[in-house]
Structure 1
Amino acid sequence: MSNISLIIEERATNIGNFMVGRLLPFRQKRSVGPFVFIDHMGPVKMSARENMEVLPHPHIGLSTLTFLFEGAIMHRDSIGSEIEIKPGAVNWMTAGKGVVHSERSPEYLRYTDKSLHGLQIWVALPKALEETEPSFTHIPAEEIPIWEEDGVQYKLIAGEALGKKSPVPVYSSLYFIEIKSKEAKHLSIGDKLYGESALYILDGSISSEGNEYEPKHILIAKDAKLCEFGIKANTTVYIFGGEVFPEERYIDWNFVSSSKERLAKAKADWIAQKFPKVSGETEFVPYPNWKK
């Protein structure tokens, strides 16, 4: 019997001046463990006249995880953080009761040809921490655990799994793992995982129970403990998941909460511009379909 309960294909989504591949949420699967949203950015080539321009926008009730494969993004937020993220590092921003941030091409790249490729992820917060004070942590690439077993390279980007722990300050039991192999291998790691689990194929392909799966697909496992698959040569996959919260999470635009009333308040507060500001920024992303 197959251990794959659902296969999700990447869907093109416009986020302003930028096209991304939306992976989660999906109508048949709103979340995997605490992971409620995943966008695959790029790979996109931008000319000297093009830049990433994600204007200030708000979040509540979640942590964002930005992980780049290529390029650079300048992050600015209402806490006062201003930092450039480069490939291999992790930007971890916890919105809690409310934060605003912008994401733009760094100044030194704005007038040159450039590329951008990476993942943008939202992780829901436990109910007791949904209204926590906002915070921001940048973890350099060299601090992320990387190791090799039987010719396969593993990287624990966030959380705890496979006997390792990432320094990213997560708030619940979860894992986000990169697996790369230059050779065809058979992997069986299910006994080291927990909760719900899913696998995203970035490059190459994997095989499971006689079927082969190509890039830009997420495979949702029926049981994380049965995570066993064949990985083809020159393949990169990401396994993510963790323990499921007892309460359902609702999403309205950039807001996540266990309470629909809280989402309504966040919407009203953003329309009234009651959220904190990002220093040096004057523009902002309006709530969708709302005209001033």
Structure 2
Amino acid sequence: MSNTELIIKERAANIGNFLVGRLLPFRQKRTVGPFAFIDHMGPADMNEDENLDVGPHPHIGLSTLTYLFEGSIMHKDSLGSDMEIKPGAVNWMTAGRGVVHSERTPNYLRNKKKTLHGLQIWVALPKELEQMEPSFSHIEEHEIPAWDEQGAHFKLIAGKAFGKTSPVPVHSDLYFIEIKTTDKKQIAIGKDLYGESALYILEGSINADGYNYGSKQILVAKDSTLCTFEMEENTTVYIFGGTPFEEERFIYWNFVNSDKAVIEKAKTNWEHQNLDAFPKVPGDENDYVPLPQPKL
């Protein structure tokens, strides 16, 4: 019997100067474990006059995880964080009751040709932590657990699995795993997984349940403990999931919460630029992304 519950193909959209492939949420699967949103950015080749410029925008009720394959992003937030993220490192920002941040091309790259490619992920917070104080952490590439096993290279980017723990300060039981192969390999990791699980094929292809699946697809497993598949040559996959929450999570724009009233309040606070709820971003005070208005 097939262990694949759902196949989700990447749905591309143009945002600024690069292509973003929306992976989650999907109408048939809103979340996988605590993971509520995954975007595949790029790869985008930008000219000297093209830059990433996502102005200050708010979040509530979630943690953001930014993980780059190529390029660089300058992160600034209302906590005063000012951090350049480079490939292999992790930016982990917990919004809690509310935070504001911007994402831009660093100044030293703004007049140069450049490439941007990576993943941006939202992880919902447990109900009891949705109103926690916001925080920010940056974890360098060398701090991420990495090892070779089953003829493949593994990284535990966030969470707990394989008897290992990533230093990314997550707030619930989850895992975000990178697996790379140069040769065709059979991978069996179900005994190390728990809760809900999904697999995203970044490049290459895998064979599972008698089918071949190519890049830019997510496979959602029926049973994470049965996670076995064959990776073709030069393939990279990301496995993410964990223990799901009992309560449904609602999403409006950049707001995630188990209570629709909290989202409505956040919408009002942002629309009226309530600085008690959403402070300015130091060094990026003169810009902001307006609240999207419903389409008529």
Q: TM-score, normalised by structure 2?
A: 0.97
Amino acid at match of 1:168: V
* d(CA) in 2 for partners of 1:43, 1:14: 12
* d(CA) in 2 for partners of 1:263, 1:122: 16
**2:288 counterpart (260, 284, 288):** 284
Secondary structure of 2:57 counterpart: strand
4+ residue runs over 2 A deviation:
13-19
Flag structure 2 segments of 5+ consecutive residues without an equivalent. Answer: none
* d(CA) in 2 for partners of 1:132, 1:259: 15
Amino acid at match of 1:285: V
- 1:17 CA drift (Å): 4.5
- 1:16 CA drift (Å): 4.3
Q: Does 1:238 align with 2:238?
A: yes
* d(CA) in 2 for partners of 1:12, 1:149: 33
Flag structure 1 segments of 5+ consecutive residues without an equivalent. Answer: none
* d(CA) in 2 for partners of 1:171, 1:13: 30
Secondary structure of 1:238 counterpart: strand
Q: Aligned pair count?
A: 291
- 1:12 CA drift (Å): 1.0
Aligned to 2:171: 171
Deviation readout 1:94-127 (Å, 9 max, x if unpaired): 0000000000000000000000000000000000
Deviation readout 1:1-41 (Å, 9 max, x if unpaired): 10001000000123345430000000000000000000000
Contact 1:17-1:53 within 8 A present in 2 as well: no
Amino acid at match of 1:269: N
- Residues 111 and 102 of structure 1: CA distance in aligned 2, closer, same or farther (over 3 Å): same
- 1:241 CA drift (Å): 0.1
| Overall identity of the aligned pairs, in % | 67
Amino acid at match of 2:281: V
Contact 2:188-2:227 within 8 A present in 1 as well: yes
- 1:258 CA drift (Å): 0.3
Contact 1:156-1:166 within 8 A present in 2 as well: yes
* d(CA) in 1 for partners of 2:27, 2:247: 18
Amino acid at match of 1:277: K
Q: TM-score, normalised by structure 1?
A: 0.98
* d(CA) in 2 for partners of 1:243, 1:143: 24
Q: How does 1:1-292 map to 2 (within 5 A)?
A: 1-274=1-274, 275-281=278-284, 282-289=286-293
* d(CA) in 2 for partners of 1:287, 1:13: 19
* d(CA) in 1 for partners of 2:187, 2:20: 30
Secondary structure of 2:264 counterpart: helix
- 1:76 CA drift (Å): 0.1
Deviation readout 1:134-182 (Å, 9 max, x if unpaired): 0000000000000001321000000000111100000000000000011
Amino acid at match of 1:287: L
- Residues 18 and 286 of structure 1: CA distance in aligned 2, closer, same or farther (over 3 Å): farther
* d(CA) in 1 for partners of 2:31, 2:16: 24
Secondary structure of 2:201 counterpart: strand
Deviation readout 1:41-68 (Å, 9 max, x if unpaired): 0000000000000000000000000000
Deviation readout 1:65-109 (Å, 9 max, x if unpaired): 000000000000000000000000000000000000000000000
Q: Please, what is the CA RMSD of the aligned residues?
A: 1.1
Secondary structure of 2:175 counterpart: strand
* d(CA) in 2 for partners of 1:128, 1:280: 32
Contact 2:12-2:20 within 8 A present in 1 as well: yes
Secondary structure of 2:233 counterpart: coil
140-149 vs 274-283, greater mean Cα deviation: 274-283
